[in-house]
Structure 1
Amino acid sequence: MTALILTLLPLSLPWAGAAAAAEGKPAVTLSKSQAGTGGSITVSGSGWRSRTLLMLLVCGRATPARGVVGGTNSCANGDGRAVTTDADGRFSRALPVAEPPVPCPCVVHVATATGAKAQADAVFQVAGHPVEPLPAQTAGGRLSVLSDTRLDGSGGLLTWFGAPPSRTLAFTVGNVGTAAVKDPVFQVGTAHGVFAPQWDERQWHGTLGPGEKARVELPVELTAGAHGDYTVSLKYGGKVLAEQPWGVGRPWGVTLFWILLCLVVPAAVFRVGMAVVDRVRPCHAARRPARTPGRRLRTETTPPRPAPPTPNATLPWFTPDTGPGGPAGRLSAPHEDRPASPTTPTTPGRKGST
């Protein structure tokens, strides 16, 4: 009886993961095996890579043997916690107890958020949460990704201006079961950084018999304006079959558009304002004398120029009584610069007039 107690004791005490840690595998231990919603437990681990970011989640419909059926959609993602291992690959972190969106059996699921994939589960019971048996495993056909998983495609001009980036997830899948698989439905998930992936169903039309393999291509699309480091995951039958990193460049066309908008709009407003000023200014400018740049406005008034003489004006050397046909009978007035004519001598033999 004592030997039986000693055999079962490590399953519930904090050193339950010591055996796994001794083998170099990631291990997780809990301070409590059961707690109610609103409480908290301490999650400890060892055997992980040093300086690695981990995610801690309470997940339902899961066991350490089968893992989390349904992936992170079966976990309380909103109450998860992150922790970084120390230089020896150990950690200890308080985790709030929350009810997962699916019934128990439940586990505390610990998985790496970056780098090589590693995970470990510890049995945990959420007090008061319903418990249902796990769905039966389907016997017969089982699909497995063989090799050569990649993302095909590239961005275009529209993607540079914020259009949704798209790629094609291509992989080779084989049927390692004993029955044929017809029209399998895969789940493709996209995760940004350390966030949980968002899963979408993609159906492949075809039939794979036992031992057969086929090349499968599934479309993958992100939201408009997405950029940064993404991870594309492939899941079938509740198990993640493959993961592929995807680095999405920043849509610099959107940034260029906003820069041009910030330059064009003020320039257009300035031109409209100047047009209004030019239309209003002449009404007031006509009343003001023009100013010469760099000089003061002269206040003296310039005297008007004399008007040119009219053609019919009287010449200065004519007088009313000496004009042509006047009393004196002269044709022209004597010039001051010409000497007077001498007296005409009388002709001999004629008498001069007296």
Structure 2
Amino acid sequence: MKYVRLLLAAALLALALALGAAAGPAAADSTDPTVAVSPKKAGAGHDITVTGQGWKPGTLLTLLICGQNAIGGTNSCANAGGRAATTDAHGAFSRQMPVTEPPKPCPCVVHVATVMGDPVVVDAPFVVAGHPVAPLPTRTTGGRLAVLSARLEGSSGLLTWFGAPPQRTLVITVGNLGSDPAKDPVFQVGTSHGVYAPLWEDQPWHGTVQPGAKQQIRIPVELAAGAHGDYTVSLRYGGKVLATNPWSVGRPWGVTLFWLLLCVVVPSALFRIGMAVVNRLRPRAPATAAAVPDNTPTSTHTLPWFAPGASPPAHRKEPSS
């Protein structure tokens, strides 16, 4: 009986150790990512150090200084002064970046976001010395909206084939899961190409979604002129990405055809103009009479001339006397 109790205690101890080892990595993975800035206040032209912990290992991040607490997306950030960083095997990073004044007034933050994979965003407060400060815009929309379906509608036309900006319509069906009506909600639509972070733009919608009701909303989406390749259209509301849709844009071959024709027509026209100018300016040789050889006879025999319709007189033989 004693040996049975010892074996049971050893089995329970091994099970507890196994559960602890299994729970350790899970607890580490569940740690929320953090970002710290040193120093917390600096003027334009100085350098700051941005550090982070708790991120996924080997994750590519973008670091930006943004105004208005980055509520306007990357449009509120100093994109020219941004930096990129990659987390190490422990999910940490450290990166120096210059202080650049954002296009929007403070309160400012250091905006750290993932480039690929699941969108993760962490903002760390930061003070840009000497930069204007203004109150944040208020958005009293209420409600709690969720996207039930999202799709892109539209097609490219002839002008897009010649480099016009591609346009689509993002059609979403939202439902209000909250107990308050959502009045005049402001959505954010972002377009990203490749590994670049999306550029967010505010898209207000005028109307009210009652609690428990559904509403179809159409939002226009436009890319830059000449854009082509694989894009991703994302919809964000309340700081959360609610939907993403792929968008494959064909290459504007009309622009290539135009340049090819231009490279053929312009040299041909210049060549013809140059040949015409050379032909006009070329000196002409004076006209001279053809020399007559010495052995050429001076007299020529010509046939008798007869009037039209007349016949030559018949030669009659005179009678001899």
- Please report the TM-score for the alignment, with normalisation by the length of structure 1: 0.63
Q: Give the corresponding residue for 1:28.
A: 34
* Correspondence for 2:123: 121
The question of whether the paired residues in 2 share the 8 Å contact of 1:107 and 1:122 is answered with yes
* Residue 111, structure 1, aligned to residue 122, structure 2: no
Within 1, Cα distance between the matches of 2:288 and 2:31?
95
Distance 1:276 1:145, change over 3 A: same
Aligned length: 277
In structure 1, the partner of 2:46 is 39
Q: Which residue is equivalent to 2:170?
A: 169
Unaligned runs of 5+ in 1: 1-18, 63-67, 290-299, 313-330, 332-354
In the other structure, the counterpart of 1:16 is none
The one-letter amino acid paired with 1:161 is F
More helix by share: 2
Contact kept? 2:141, 2:182, Cα under 8 Å: no
Q: Which residue identity does 1:103 align to in structure 2?
A: C
Q: Is the 8 A contact 2:181 2:209 kept in 1?
A: yes
Contact 1:186-1:234 within 8 A present in 2 as well: yes
Partner of 2:18: none
1:33, distance to aligned residue in structure 2 (A): 5.7
Q: How do 1:99-248 and structure 2 match up within 5 A?
A: 99-100=101-102, 101-104=104-107, 106-126=108-128, 138=140, 140-146=142-148, 148-192=149-193, 194=196, 197-203=199-205, 206-237=207-238, 239-248=240-249
CA distance in 1, matches of 2:141, 2:183: 14
The alignment partner of 2:147 has SS state of: strand
Q: What is the deviation of 1:156?
A: 2.4
Read off the aligned partner of 1:116 and give its amino acid letter. D
Which residue in the other structure is 1:346 paired with? none
For 2:209 and 2:244, the matched residues in 1 are separated by: 22
Do the aligned partners of 1:21 and 1:27 also contact (CA within 8 Å) in 2? no
Equivalent pair of 1:185/1:203 in contact (CA under 8 Å): yes
Q: 1:22 to 1:301 in 2, by over 3 A?
A: farther
Q: Distance in 2 between matches of 1:196 and 1:36?
A: 27
- AA aligned to 1:82 is A
Q: From 70, 85, 96, give the equivalent of 1:83.
A: 85
Tell me the secondary structure at the aligned position of residue 271 of structure 1. Answer: helix
Q: How does 1:48-63 map to 2 (within 5 A)?
A: 48-62=55-69
Letter in 2 for 1:256: L
**Distance in 2 between residues matched to 1:21 and 1:41, nearest whole Å:** 31
Structure 1 residue 264: Cα displacement: 1.0
Shift of 1:132: 7.2
Describe the shift of the 1:179–1:29 C-alpha distance in structure 2 as closer, same or farther (beyond 3 A). Answer: closer
Question: For 2:282 and 2:133, how far apart are their aligned partners in 1?
Answer: 84
Does residue 306 (structure 1) correspond to residue 297 (structure 2)? The answer is yes
Q: Decide whether the 8 Å contact of 1:28 with 1:43 is kept in 2.
A: no
Q: Aligned partners of 1:21, 1:96: CA distance in 2, in Å? A: 35
State the alpha-carbon separation in 2 of the partners of residues 36 and 173 from structure 1: 42
Residues 186 and 202 in structure 2, CA contact (< 8 A), matched pair in contact too: no
Report the equivalent of 2:285: 284
After superposition, the Cα gap between the structure-2 partners of 1:185 and 1:268, relative to the gap in structure 1 and judged at 3 Å, is same
Compared CA separation, residues 184 and 301, structure 1 to 2 (3 A) = same
**Residue 21 (structure 1) shift:** 8.3
CA shift digits 1:86-125 (9 cap, x unpaired) = 4554322112344553332x44321012333122233445
**Equivalent position SS for 1:177:** coil
Partners of 2:208 and 2:240 in 1: how far apart? 20
Look up the SS of the partner of 1:269 in the other structure: helix
SS in 2 for 1:284: coil
Q: Which has the larger radius of gyration?
A: 1
Classify the secondary structure of the residue corresponding to 2:215: strand
RMSD: 3.9
Describe the shift of the 1:128–1:33 C-alpha distance in structure 2 as closer, same or farther (beyond 3 A). Answer: same
Shift in Å, 1:74:
3.9
Pair 1:260–1:137, CA change in 2 (3 A): closer
Q: Residue in 1 aligned with 2:74?
A: 72
Residue matched to 1:341: none
Q: What is the TM-score when the length of structure 2 is the normalising length?
A: 0.69
CA distance in 2, matches of 1:237, 1:285: 91
Cα drift, residue 210 of structure 1: 0.4
One-letter identity of the residue aligned with 2:268:
A
